[in-house]
Amino acid sequence: MPCDEWCRLVEGYRSAVDSYNEAVKTLSFLPGANFNEVWHRTERARTKSDRARAELLHHEHDHGCLRAGQLDKQLVGVSSESLVLGDQGQSGG
């Protein structure tokens, strides 16, 4: 199984993505001057999400806790992206 740190980073990434998603939803409901304030808040949420993703992938690469031989057979070859995003992370086709 992945290590505790990886699990913590995944939860942080999920939370950051959820916050970003909620921030984006509010953009379409705001008129005029309020839009700029919410836009900046949304951009901060996006940056936080990007940072959380980078930390997760960096840990995965450096620690190697998702490498074959260290996981249950069901998880071999699975990336953190597919575990976190599921089908959302794949391009259509």
| pLDDT of the residue at 92 | 45
Q: What is the 3-state secondary structure (H, E, C) of 15-65?
A: HHHHHHHHHHHHHCCCCHHHHHHHHHHHHHHHHHHHHHHHHHHHHHHHHCC
| pLDDT of the residue at 93 | 39
| pLDDT of the residue at 69 | 53
Would you kindly state where each structural domain of the chain is located, as residue ranges? 4-88
Two tokens, residue 77: 């070859």
| pLDDT of the residue at 78 | 52
Q: Tell me the per-residue pLDDT of 21-79, one tens digit each, with 9 for 90 and over.
A: 999 988 877 778 788 888 999 999 999 999 999 999 999 888 878 765 555 554 545 55
Question: For residue 93, what are the CA distances in angstroms to 23, 38, 73, 90?
Answer: 28, 34, 28, 9
More confident residue, 89 or 34: 34
Rounded CA separation 5/83 (Å) = 15
| pLDDT of the residue at 45 | 96
Contact 79, 73 (CB under 8 A): no
Burial class (CB in 10 A: 0-12, 13-18, 19+), 74: exposed
Enter the pTM of the model: 0.68
Rounded CA separation 73/80 (Å) = 15
Is the pLDDT reported for residue 8 higher than 90? yes
